[in-house]
A and B are shown apart, each in its own frame.
Chain A
Amino acid sequence: MPDKKPARGGPAKGDPGPLILVVDDFEDNREMYTQFLRFNGYRVAEAVDGLDALTKAAALRPDLIVMDLSLPRLDGWEATRRLKKDPLTSQIPVVALTGHALAGHEEGARNAGCDSFVTKPCIPADLEAEIRRVLTAKSGARGR
C-alpha cells in the first residue's frame, strides 16, 4: 500500500529547488516523474534521447540527471560516459533507470559512471527518495 501522504521530502517552499534533468524516450513515464518532482518542489527539465541529454546537460548544468538506459540515437550508457568525460558535466550525479533487471545491466551502468541505479518499475516516490539520497550524499561530500 503506497503512502497516502505525498513524499514531500524535497526542497522547502520558496527554495527554487534543485534542477533535475529527466531523460526518457517514453513520454508517459517522463511526464509522470516530471509531474511528481515538480509537485515536490524540484525544477525539472526533460530530454528524449542520449544526444538531447548531452545538449541539455551542457546547456542547463542540472543538479542531477535521471537517465533511462534504453534510449534511441545514443543509449544511456554512452551518454553517461560522455557526460563524465566532459569536465563541464562530470560533476553532475547520474541516477540510472532501467527496465532490464538482468544481471550485468547495473554493473554496466556503474562502469559507465552512473552514481546510482534504480530498476523499473519504480514508483515516483521511490525515485524521489533516491534523488534526495544522492543529492544529500553529494552536498555532504562537497561540504567536507
Chain B
Amino acid sequence: MAAGTALARSAAVQAEARLGLAEFLLTCDDLEECARRSLEWLAEYAGARAGACLAVDVEHTRLSVIATHGPGMPPEFSVDLEDRAHPLVAAAFGRQAVVFAERRDRRGPAPLGRLPIVVHPMYARVGRENVPGGLLVVSPPDANHRMLAWVASVLASPLVRLGRSRSLTEADRRIRRERTLLDAVPDPILLTDPEGRVLIANARAKALLVAGEGESEGRRRAVALNNMLFSSALAQTAIQEGGRRELLLVDPVEGSDLLFELLSTAAPDTREGTALVSILRNISDLRRASEEIEENYRRLRIAEADVRAERDRLDLIIDSVADPILVTDPAGALVMMNAPAERLFSVRGSSAPEHGVRVQANDAHFSAFVSNLLFASEGERRRGEIGLVDPETGLPLPVEAISGKIFSEHGEVIAIVTVLHDRTEEIERARLYEELKKASALLEERVRQATSELVGQNELLRRQRIELEQASAAKSQFLANMSHEFRTPLNAILGYTSLLLQGVSGELGAQQERNLSRVDSNARHLLAIINDILDISRIEAGKMPLHVSSFPIPTLIQEVLAELEPLIQRSKLSVRVETARKLPPVSNDRAKVKQIVLNLVTNAIKFTPSGSVTVSARHELSVKEIEIAVSDTGIGIKNEDHERVFEDFRQADNSPAREYGGAGLGLAICRRLAHMMEGRVELQSAVGQGSTFTLTLPVRLRRR
C-alpha cells in the first residue's frame, strides 16, 4: 500500500526526491548517517517497511550492519567475508538482488532476522575496478525494485569512500591509544639511541629526563643531572650484559631521591639502527619496605625477649605461690607446674616406691578433674574438690581445685590453668566450729533447762511466799481476835479482884488480901503478855501506822521517868539523865519512841539488882542521828546471847519469864518499832559489867 501511495505521486515529486537524496549522499561525510537516510528514503518512496544497510569494512574481512530502519532488523549483525557459503556474503559478491522468503520456504532459513527480505549488492568504482561495498536489505521483498537498485547504486560510492577514510582515522586512534597506554605505566619507559639520546619517552620518563621550554632553572638542572646519571648507567649496563643496575635519580618537582632499577634491552631495527629500550622500576618503596621489614624483625626480637623475661617473672611468681598451680594443654597434657605442684605430681629420684603410686593416684584424680572441664563442661571454669594424697606421708590431702580455660584471640582453648588449695585446715576449722556449735547448743540447752527449773522454783517460791504471807496475815488476825477474846474475861478478873481488894464486898483478912494481890499481879502480867502479842501482830500485819510529829527528846525522857517513878522508888537504884546541850528536836512517831525508851528503862531497872541506871541522849551530827542510850550496872548479857535477847519470847537465860517478869517480847517489839522508824536498837554488854541498849533514830524520817 505504501508503494501504491508513492506511485500515486507525481513524477516531478519523485524526481525531486531522488535529487534530494543524491545531493545529501554527495555532501554527507558520515557513513552511518548516509546509510540511515537512504533506508528512510526507501521506506518513503519504495514501500520498504523495514530495511538495513550492511557494509564491508576497510580491511575487507567482515560484512556488518551499520544502520537499520523499521521493526524486525537486527542492529548488531556481522559475518566474516571468508564465509562464502553465507547467503548474505554470497549476495554481497553477487551481481543481482536476491529474495529470501519467509522461514517456511525450503530454501533455507532467513539470513537476517525473521522477515522475508530482498537484498541488493552495492558496488563502487575505485580506479578501474568495481569494489563490493555492502548490501542493501529491504522488507517486504515486493518493494519497488527499481528504486532499490537506484539507491544501491548511489549509496555504494559514499559507502566505500567514507569506509576508507574511517579506517585511516582508526590507525591514528590506535597510535594515540598506544601512547596513552605507555603514559599510563607509572614506571619511566624510554627508547634511546646507543648514546642515550631519548627517541621516545613516556610521561613519567619525560618528567625525569626531558625539560620543557618554560621550566625553572632548578628543574632544568635536575633533569640535566638525571640525564647524566642515566647515560652513565646505560653505558655500564651495555658493558654488563643483561645486568640490572640500581639508578638514583632526583625528582625534579619534589627534589627527593628516587631509586630505580634500570632494565635495558637492545631493540634491533634494520632501518633506523639499534635502539635501546629502558624501563626504570621505582624501587624506592621496595627499599622502604625492606627497611620496614628489618625494623619489624628487630622489634619482634625485642618483643620476644620481653615475652621471655615476662615468662621468667611469671615462673618466679607462680613458683612463689604456696598453692599448687598446674597448666595443661587442650589435650590434657601437663605443660607447666610450680614447685608446690611438683611436690604432689612428680616422682623424685630417691623416693620410696609407694611415693610413685601416690603421685600416680594424684595425677589420675587431677586428670579426671581437668578432662571433665575440657570435654564434659560448657563453662569456662570449674570448681570442685579433689581427694589427693600427700606423696611423702600418705596422709589424705583434700584440696579445692579451681580450673579455668585460657582462650586464644580466636576463641579456642589453648590451656587450662588449675590452682589447688589445701583444705585440710579449713576442714579442721569447720569440724572444730561444728563441735563448738554442738557444745554451745548443749550449753544453751542446759542453761535453758536450768532457767526453766529456776522459773519453776521461782513460781513455787512465789506461791510459798504468798501462802506464807496469807498464813502470817491469818496468824496476825487470829492473834488480834484472840487478844480481844482474852481481854473480856481478863477485864472481869481484874475488875472483880480490884473490887474485892478495894473492900467493895467487905473487909478482907490479911491472908485473903495477899492471895487476891497474887491474882491481881498475875492477871496484870497476863494482860501485859496479851498487849505485847497484840503489838507484834499489829506491826506484822502492817496495821501500826506512824504518827509523825516533831518533839524534844529531853522532855520525852522526863515523861518516861515520871511514869516509872513508882518502880524506881521500889528499886532503890539511882537513875540519872545525861542529855547533851543543843539536841535538835526529833521528827518521828513520839508514842513509839516513848514506848521503846520506857521498855529499855523498865528492863534496865528490872535486871539491875543494885547500882545505877543512866539515860543519855546525844546528837551524831555527821549522820544526822540521835542516840538515846540506857546503861545499867546490872547482870549483863553473854556475848552469844546478844542477838537472842531481841528474838520473840526470849530472855537471855531462857528461864521462865516469871523470874524477872515480862513476856520476853519487849526487846523484839522495840527492835521492830525502831526499824519502822528508820532506826535501830543495839546492845553493848558483858556478863557482870552491865548493859547498854542504844536506840538510834534519824533526826528526820527519810521516807516522808
B6 within 8 Å of A (CB atoms): no
Which of B49-57, B129-137, B224-232, B498-506 is the contact stretch?
B498-506
Nearest chain B CB to A33 CB, angstrom units: 7
Q: Are A121 and B487 in contact (CB under 8 A)?
A: yes
Distance between Cα atoms of A103 and B531 in the complex (Å):
13
Chain B's closest residue to A120 (CB) is: B491
Distance between Cα atoms of A6 and B500 in the complex (Å):
10
Distance between Cα atoms of A101 and B502 in the complex (Å):
27
B149 within 8 Å of A (CB atoms): no
Query: When the two chains form the complex, which single residue of A29, A39, A101, A103 contacts B491, counting CB atoms closer than 8 Å?
Result: A29
Q: Are B484 and A121 in contact (CB under 8 A)?
A: no
Interface size class of B (residues with CB under 8 A): 20 to 34
A117 within 8 Å of B (CB atoms): no
Distance between Cα atoms of A33 and B513 in the complex (Å):
21
Q: Which residues of A contact B534 (CB under 8 A)?
A: 101
Q: Are B502 and A29 in contact (CB under 8 A)?
A: no
Nearest chain A CB to B299 CB, angstrom units: 118
Q: Are A123 and B531 in contact (CB under 8 A)?
A: no
A3 within 8 Å of B (CB atoms): yes
Distance between Cα atoms of A1 and B503 in the complex (Å):
15
Q: Which residues of A contact B433 (CB under 8 A)?
A: none
Q: Which residues of B contact A3 (CB under 8 A)?
A: 502
Which of B87-95, B181-189, B538-546 is the contact stretch?
B538-546
Q: Are B520 and A2 in contact (CB under 8 A)?
A: yes
**Given contact pairs A39-B504, A102-B538, A32 touches B496 in the complex (Cβ within 8 A):** yes
Interface string of A1-13 (1 = CB under 8 A from B): 1111111000000
Query: When the two chains form the complex, which single residue of A100, A120, A124 contacts B499, counting CB atoms closer than 8 Å?
Result: A124
Chain A's closest residue to B503 (CB) is: A6
**Given contact pairs A29-B488, A99-B484, A124 touches B495 in the complex (Cβ within 8 A):** yes
Q: Are A103 and B495 in contact (CB under 8 A)?
A: no
Q: Is the interface of A mostly helix, strand, loop or mixed?
A: loop
Nearest chain B CB to A7 CB, angstrom units: 7
Q: Are A36 and B504 in contact (CB under 8 A)?
A: yes
Interface string of A114-144 (1 = CB under 8 A from B): 0000001111110000000000000000000
Distance between Cα atoms of A102 and B539 in the complex (Å):
11
Distance between Cα atoms of A102 and B492 in the complex (Å):
20
Q: Are B544 and A2 in contact (CB under 8 A)?
A: no
B367 within 8 Å of A (CB atoms): no
User: Tally of A-B residue pairs with Cβ under 8 A?
Assistant: 76
Chain A's closest residue to B501 (CB) is: A2
Query: When the two chains form the complex, which single residue of B483, B492, B502 contacts A2, counting CB atoms closer than 8 Å?
Result: B502
B63 within 8 Å of A (CB atoms): no
**Given contact pairs A29-B492, A121-B487, A121-B527, A102 touches B498 in the complex (Cβ within 8 A):** no
B494 within 8 Å of A (CB atoms): yes
Interface string of A90-118 (1 = CB under 8 A from B): 00000000011111000000000000000
Interface string of B475-514 (1 = CB under 8 A from A): 0000010011001101110111111011111000000010
Distance between Cα atoms of A121 and B501 in the complex (Å):
17
Q: Which residues of B contact A7 (CB under 8 A)?
A: 502
Q: Which residues of B contact A2 (CB under 8 A)?
A: 497-498, 501-502, 520
Q: Are B499 and A26 in contact (CB under 8 A)?
A: no
Query: When the two chains form the complex, which single residue of A32, A100, A101, A102 contacts B495, counting CB atoms closer than 8 Å?
Result: A32
8 A Cβ contacts from A20-46 to B: 26, 28-29, 32-33, 35-36, 39
Nearest chain A CB to B673 CB, angstrom units: 14
B603 within 8 Å of A (CB atoms): no
Q: Which residues of A contact B614 (CB under 8 A)?
A: none
Q: Which residues of B contact A102 (CB under 8 A)?
A: 480, 538, 543
Which of A4, A29, A120 has the most chain B CB atoms inside 10 A of its CB?
A120
Q: Are A101 and B517 in contact (CB under 8 A)?
A: no
Which of B494, B498, B505, B545 has the most chain A CB atoms inside 10 A of its CB?
B498
Q: Which 4 A-B pairs rank lowest in CB-CB distance, beginning with the nearest?
A: A121-B491, A32-B495, A99-B487, A123-B498
Question: Which residues of chain A have a CB within 8 Å of any CB of chain B?
Answer: 1-7, 26, 28-29, 32-33, 35-36, 39, 99-103, 120-125
Question: Which residues of chain B have a CB within 8 Å of any CB of chain A?
Answer: 480, 483-484, 487-488, 490-492, 494-499, 501-505, 513, 517, 520-521, 527, 531, 534, 538, 543-545
17 extra A-B contacts, CB within 8 A, seeds A4-B501, A103-B543, A121-B494: A1-B521, A2-B502, A4-B503, A4-B513, A6-B503, A29-B495, A32-B496, A39-B504, A99-B484, A99-B488, A121-B490, A121-B491, A121-B527, A123-B494, A123-B498, A124-B495, A125-B498
